[in-house]
Amino acid sequence: MKRIILAAAAVAFATAAWAAPNTMTVPMGTSKILADAKDMTLYTFDKDTKGAAASACTATCPATWLAFVPAATDKADTDWTIINGLDKDGKTVVKQWAYKGQPLYYNVKDMKAGDTLGDGVGGVWHVVKM
């Protein structure tokens, strides 16, 4: 499994702790998708503007689509940038990873590694294919 080198993010949701991104093989295919180090799927949102300084996931959106939060010591590079997102309360500003200008999110319905329940939701949420 190809690992993308970033310091681990220690953001808790339920009983899972999010970690640095990597790629994984989709269970029912040969495509690779972007996931964290625990193989939790990462998503993009079509309403986000590529390269924007902030996420378009606002109001009630962050309660379902959690920002992929970097650790305080993580640093951006060419493909990986840090933008402003919102915590699950929809009000508190948090830092959020963006990959190639697209903010990254978790879906709260994904409960185990490899779940992709958020792919295609509303026609605007997508796994990141590598």
pLDDT at 126 over 90: yes
CA distance 36 to 16: 11
> Considering just the CA atoms, what is the radius of gyration of the chain in Å?
13
Question: Are the C-beta atoms of 33 and 119 separated by less than 8 Å?
Answer: no
93-119 average pLDDT score? 95
Q: What is the pLDDT of residues 63-87, one digit of tens each?
A: 999 999 988 888 888 899 999 999 9
Nearest to 4, CA basis, from 26, 14, 18, 19: 19
Confidence of residue 25 (pLDDT cuts 50, 70, 90): low
CA distance 54 to 116: 24
pLDDT at 28 over 70: no
CA distance 96 to 82: 5
Show the tokens assigned to 76. 């951006």
Q: What percent of the chain has pLDDT over 70?
A: 77
The confidence score (pLDDT) of residue 39 equals 87
pLDDT at 12 over 70: no
pLDDT at 59 over 70: yes
pLDDT at 14 over 50: no
